[in-house]
Amino acid sequence: MEMEQIAFRMRLNPGQAAEYERRHRAIWPELAAQLKEAGISDYSIFLDEQDGSLFAVLRRRPGPSRWTRCRSRR
């Protein structure tokens, strides 16, 4: 089965880099389960410390409802 690759950018609030790093050192088991249920794998987020941009890349199995379900739980 072919995997779909999705990339997106976010902006980190100013002064929150240390808190962001602390919260993302390890993935929560509940989040890992939700990502797997949504067909998502190889999810990585990169921080550009110069401007606070977050660049995320994930791979997922095709299926429109899987991504919708995961995003609706936020």
- The reply to whether 24 belongs to the active site is yes
Question: Looking at 6, 17, 21, 24, which residue is catalytic?
Answer: 24
In the block, residue with structure tokens 């899987």: 66
- The residues carrying an active-site annotation are 24
